[in-house]
Structure 1
């Protein structure tokens, strides 16, 4: 017993000694210094600053006076007496709105004992530092995903032979993928998705025999799928979607029998779906949509018991409408968009009780919407551009799972079910392009999560509108081209950003309650019967788009509109405005510096749903502008009014304008020479006014101009011929200006006076319009010798 007690006491002494040793032994000094330098470079704060002064996530415990092994995200090897840092889990330490320098990684690369490094989601900007990367020979896990890293992938990464996990996705990396990728033979996961890599996928990638996940999605890879990939028999996930890969899908793809996910979507593949795919027993996700695949969809695909997601849409595939499908799979998501389905909706879908997402758009489906559709647990039902008829079954809206309903462009009719509000989870409701009629049901306001509602191009009517709660999320409403009448409705809640009511029969004054819509960016009331003057309070609404075309508005255009700093589309055409054009319109910042794009709730969903484009009077005819590109367009249309006076020179400051239409007014004076500064202008219509003087020579600077009309004015002088003006040779665009001359209208001009620059008469290519009178004058004979007479002989 005494011996046992002595042994126990000795063990206790050893334990306490070790405990005391580790209690006072901190992490290596060089590791602490490296971490503090990383923190300093990442946050821009000196390392000596207290953590409380640094508004970044995760650094609260990073105090210089404490053991770095106790810091958040830091793990040390307690088995070693030196307690070196071995793992750094530093994901999301930096706010998303912040851009930190990627050079902050350099201190971490000095820590050769690291086996695990995660610096994902830190807004790191710049190239991946090369110095020190080779020190990380022990590293098995490296995650730099979801940053702002650019440049090429450093070659040193391919020397980290112990890597099992490499994730560089969600950055801006460029260049090609090196064949040295094949040296990382221990890799089990490789994710380079969502970058800008290009070139071919190197065949050496097939050397990664242990790889289970390979994702190169959303890059710019081209060429074929290398045959070596078919040797990677451990692959469970292969995602090559959203690239420019071409040729055919290899026949041997089905030999990758462990694959659970195969995504080749949005490439340029052609040919048929390989028959071997139908034998991939472990397949759960198959995404082949967005290619140029052809042939008949194999019915045996539906025999894959584990298949849950099947996307075949947007190809050139056809459907065997005579085949009897008895699916053995239990699908949760299915897209057969544009796959040649004919007749009634496939009845075999009625047994897919797990179906959450269904897209059967752009087929030739006919008949009523079946009642069994309401028995499914659908979250999203998208069946646009078919031939469905009849009313909407009320049972559909008894579901508490629906989030998206898109039945646009069918032949559906009748009134909306009165119980539509029971589907309170709907976020997107798109029913445009049908034949629905009657008033809007009051219960629609009970859809508490509704964000987008598009009921345009139907036969809805009435003058009473449901009033949405102030708590509604509703941001996008399109009721255009129906038969609504009465006063303009405004009860859509305070979050509304885009309100389109054009093409109805609304009348009366613009309601002043619009001013309470503090988030309203787009308002379209075109083609109605709105009367009265344009109120100055409109300038207090943050418009980007204001379309009041074809109403009965009158009075002068308020100068206060110039306060709309974000406005880049203004259409007041087809009204009864009079007076002069306010000089202050030249201060519209949104038309001076047009953004390349801007976020609206409608833009966000345009990428996924077929929201209606914006209808504008573009280049002389009604056109639709793509909504997801709306931010790049800037135009001002004041045509078809009774405006008078001179055109303000200040309009020449609107350098972002793509279209300017002042036609069909009573404008006089000369065309401002400042218009030559409208460098982005594509269309200019000044026709049917009382403009005089000459067409400014500065028009030769309008390099983007493709459409011009100055007809029916009182213009005189030579038509400019330089730049794009040399292509404006249609006589009709200069018609009924008795004083104009030039080759464009086959009217000779007199010789230039000695004071005029000869460049006005010679075009950019050395040719020009020289009249017989000019030749008789003998002016600048030496220059005329080189002029190719055949070019203009047909005008003489």
Structure 2
């Protein structure tokens, strides 16, 4: 029978049958490939492969997406506790595969040249694994839009030139790999003008940031930290008007912020810490969207711009170990859920901004080793979120607000080397998280409250060089974790309570230069962890057994 003799309905049936046979054959091939992948990863501590069975449609396999014809479009198995080696020779036989996402697993072994055959890939994520060896030449993967190879154990020479074919790249993440050292910033990268995300931190790049960085005007995220980059920040960086995240920390950058840096008004997170930058911070006055600013361990000088006090989104400010002078803006941190400030080791003066914990979210106040004056703001007593309160080595004075002693989440209170007065109040019984209480070299007075025994997490108490008086409360023995008790150079008196002998973790006991009296208890001799004991200039009698 000729084709002309076949009824039209039969021709339609034959066409459909032929198409179904084609799809069935294609699906059969993809099924076998997926089963090969399952076999390679069969020792993984995961249940995701339970659905990868021959009686299921491959499009119903966990982590598999298909086109309408039933062919595999995407493998999405990131963060699934996978272990083993990836069979790239099998994977790249999936003719329609556009997405391979297996990041954040425990995959190991080499990435073989077979990866070059995945020519339809638009999205490739092998990041955060334990691969070894070099990354193969990826030139054939010229359709890639997103490439994530970060923190995956790669070494050797990265095939930078293969990126020149990937003109559509939007996301490029190669950081945290120990590629061969002594490579300059790859010129090919600044030609990828569609990039929005560039992560090259900690991958042994050195030399200057090239002026061509200004070509990447679509960038939202730029991370170059933990490299060996040197020279100045190029003024062309000011062209990146969409940039919201910039990390340059732990390099050898020098010089001032370039003119025009203040044009980066979309910046929300900026970290250029641990470099050799200098000059003032005036270029940052217009960065009103900043939520986090970290510039510690540089050589910045001058005043903190008054405009910082008006930044409505600012949550984190870290400027420690610079040469900053003047006072902090008094409205600093009062607008948003301010979380953290560290301006330690500068030459800052004036009062502590009063409203940094206005929203009740602040966790760390670190302003030690400056020249701040005035009192602790009364608003700090309401800062129940506080975990570290460090204002030591300043010129602060006045009575410590009683609520400070009882902050429920604070692990460290450090007010040493100031001119504070007044007592430790019974509020300290509420300090359930307090580990270190450092109050030395002030003018504090009064008795040590027995309620201190309720602060059961205490490991270190240093009240030395103050004007405390009265007895050591017998309840001190309830502080079972206490390892350091320094009470020297005060006006304490009376006997040492027998409960001191219950402090089995005590390593240092300093009681010298007080008015203690009575027998030196034999129980002190039972403190097996005690390494340092100072008792001189008291009125003790007896011996330690």
Q: Is the 8 A contact 2:280 2:302 kept in 1?
A: no
Which one is further off, 437-446 or 408-417?
Answer: 437-446
Following superposition, the deviation at residue 269 of structure 1 comes to: 0.9
Instruction: Evaluate the alpha carbon distance shift between residue 550 and residue 405 of structure 1 in structure 2; reply closer, same or farther with a 3 A threshold.
Output: closer
1:462-517 deviations in Å (ceiling 9; x for gaps) = 543353676x77354342534456448764867837545364667636722223xx
1:511 corresponds in structure 2 to: 476
2:238 corresponds in structure 1 to: 278
Q: Which has the higher contact order (CA 8 A, sep 6+)?
A: 2
TM-score, structure 2 as length reference? 0.75
Q: Is the 8 A contact 2:441 2:464 kept in 1?
A: yes
Q: 2: CA distance between counterparts of 1:250 and 1:32?
A: 44
1:535-562 deviations in Å (ceiling 9; x for gaps) = 66545xxx6xx5315447753677795x
Q: Is the 8 A contact 2:386 2:409 kept in 1?
A: yes
2:10 corresponds in structure 1 to: none
Which residue, 42, 45, 49 being the options, matches 2:44?
42
1:177-220 deviations in Å (ceiling 9; x for gaps) = 33x13332222112222344344443224222221111222333
Q: Is the 8 A contact 1:534 1:555 kept in 2?
A: no
TM-score, structure 1 as length reference? 0.53
Is 1:444 the equivalent of 2:424?
A: no
Following superposition, the deviation at residue 270 of structure 1 comes to: 0.9
Q: Is the 8 A contact 2:85 2:109 kept in 1?
A: yes
Following superposition, the deviation at residue 528 of structure 1 comes to: 4.0
Q: 2: CA distance between counterparts of 1:123 and 1:456?
A: 48
Matching of residues 558-637 of structure 1 within 5 Å: 570=529, 572-575=531-534
Following superposition, the deviation at residue 253 of structure 1 comes to: 1.4
What is the SS of the residue equivalent to 2:228? coil
Which one is further off, 299-308 or 255-264?
Answer: 299-308
1:51 corresponds in structure 2 to: none
2:318 corresponds in structure 1 to: 359
Q: 1: CA distance between counterparts of 2:158 and 2:381?
A: 51
Q: What value does the CA root-mean-square deviation take over the aligned residues?
A: 4.3
Q: Is the 8 A contact 1:353 1:376 kept in 2?
A: yes
1:291 corresponds in structure 2 to: 251
What is the SS of the residue equivalent to 1:395? coil
What is the SS of the residue equivalent to 1:373? coil
Q: Is the 8 A contact 2:334 2:357 kept in 1?
A: no
Is 1:258 the equivalent of 2:218?
A: yes
What is the SS of the residue equivalent to 2:115? helix
What is the SS of the residue equivalent to 1:228? helix
Q: 2: CA distance between counterparts of 1:205 and 1:502?
A: 64
Instruction: Evaluate the alpha carbon distance shift between residue 176 and residue 371 of structure 1 in structure 2; reply closer, same or farther with a 3 A threshold.
Output: same
Is 1:202 the equivalent of 2:159?
A: yes
1:131-172 deviations in Å (ceiling 9; x for gaps) = 744444543222222223344434433432222222222234
What is the SS of the residue equivalent to 2:208? coil
Count of residue pairs brought into register by the alignment: 494
What is the SS of the residue equivalent to 1:398? coil
Q: 2: CA distance between counterparts of 1:71 and 1:400?
A: 48
Q: Is the 8 A contact 2:270 2:294 kept in 1?
A: yes
Instruction: Evaluate the alpha carbon distance shift between residue 284 and residue 38 of structure 1 in structure 2; reply closer, same or farther with a 3 A threshold.
Output: same
What is the SS of the residue equivalent to 2:404? helix
Q: Is the 8 A contact 1:374 1:399 kept in 2?
A: no
Matching of residues 461-500 of structure 1 within 5 Å: 462-467=422-427, 474=433, 476-483=435-442, 486-487=447-448, 491=452, 496=457, 499-500=460-461
Following superposition, the deviation at residue 69 of structure 1 comes to: 6.5
Instruction: Evaluate the alpha carbon distance shift between residue 141 and residue 70 of structure 1 in structure 2; reply closer, same or farther with a 3 A threshold.
Output: closer
Unaligned runs of 5+ in 2: 1-15, 21-26, 513-519, 537-542
Instruction: Evaluate the alpha carbon distance shift between residue 446 and residue 494 of structure 1 in structure 2; reply closer, same or farther with a 3 A threshold.
Output: closer
Q: 1: CA distance between counterparts of 2:87 and 2:455?
A: 48
Is 1:184 the equivalent of 2:144?
A: no
What is the SS of the residue equivalent to 1:318? strand
1:73 corresponds in structure 2 to: 62
Q: 2: CA distance between counterparts of 1:138 and 1:246?
A: 39
Instruction: Evaluate the alpha carbon distance shift between residue 78 and residue 273 of structure 1 in structure 2; reply closer, same or farther with a 3 A threshold.
Output: closer
Q: 2: CA distance between counterparts of 1:215 and 1:381?
A: 30
Following superposition, the deviation at residue 375 of structure 1 comes to: 4.4
What is the SS of the residue equivalent to 1:512? helix
Q: 2: CA distance between counterparts of 1:480 and 1:547?
A: 19
Q: 1: CA distance between counterparts of 2:65 and 2:397?
A: 70
Which residue, 391, 394, 409 being the options, matches 1:434?
394
- Rg larger in 1 or in 2? 1
